[in-house]
Amino acid sequence: MIREAHVNGIKLVYREEGDPTAPPLLLIHGRTANHNDWNGITQHFAARYRVIALDLRGHGASDFLGPYELPEMAEDVVALLDHLDIGRTTLIGHSLGGVTAYHAAMNHPDRVERLVLEDAPPPLPFKNRPPLVEDDSTGFDWRMMHDTERQLVGPDPAWLEGLDKITAPTLVLSGGEQSQVDTGELAARIPGARLVTIDVGHLIHTMARSRFLQAVDAFLDA
C-alpha cells in the first residue's frame, strides 16, 4: 500500500506491507533510488514485520525540498515514525540510507531497536571521489546530489563522535574489496557492532539477495 505523510515540513511517500500489529521494520534506500529498490526484500520481511519503505526527501515521489542536510533527513525518518505512532523500530539502510539511519540512531537512540547498515560510508572524509557531473537522470533532485556529496566528502567531525551514542545492536554489511566504502571503520566506531562481508560490491541486496537476507535474518533472530 502506497501512502504519504506530511511530516517535518515535507511530504514523504512510503510503502507499507505486512501485519500492522507486527514489530516495525523500516527500510531506507540509497542515493538516487526510491522505495522500489527494496522490491523482493519487503515481501520477505513482511512475513513477520510491519514493513515500511520510504522515499527519502529529494527522491521518488517525496518532496524535492532542500536543504538536504543529513541530520535533517534523519529527522524526516523520526517524524515518519511519530506519524505512524511507532515508538521503536528496526532500521535497515543502504548507502545514503545507511548514513541517514545511523544519524537517526545516534540522535534518537531510544527509537531504534536494531540497526543494519549496508555498505554505508562512515562520517570520515571520502577521498578520491570523482567530481559530480549532472546528466539527464531523473527520479531524484540534483540539488540533493550536490548537498549530500558535500557532506560525504567533508563530514562534520562531530558526527564521528556521535557514533558512540548508538545503543542499538548493529550489523554492518560490507561489499568487500569491490566496494570503495570503508565499512570496517564504521563498524569499529559503533559500540559492539558486528561486521559481515559479502564480497559483491556496493549493491549487496541486489547482487546477492539471498546472502543479504540470510545475514540480516541471522542478526535479527539473535
Q: What percent of the chain has pLDDT over 90?
A: 96
The pLDDT score that the predictor gives to residue 31 is 98
Q: What is the mean pLDDT of the segment spanning 160-167?
A: 97
* Structural domain harbouring 87: 2-221
CB environment 167-188: b (16+ within 10 A), e (fewer): ebbbbbbbbbeebebebeebbe
Percent of the chain whose pLDDT exceeds 70: 100
Residue 33 contacts by C-beta under 8 Å, 6 or more apart in sequence? 59, 60, 94
pLDDT in tens, 186-199: 999 999 999 999 99
Q: How far is CA 129 from the centre of its chain?
A: 21
Q: Which residues contact 182 (CB under 8 A, 6 or more apart)?
A: 121, 122, 124
pLDDT at residue 128, as a whole number: 81
CATH code for position 19:
3.40.50.1820
Residue 78 has pLDDT above 90, yes or no: yes
- Give the chain's domain count: 1
- Is the pLDDT assigned to residue 170 strictly greater than 90? yes
- What is the model's pLDDT at position 129? 87
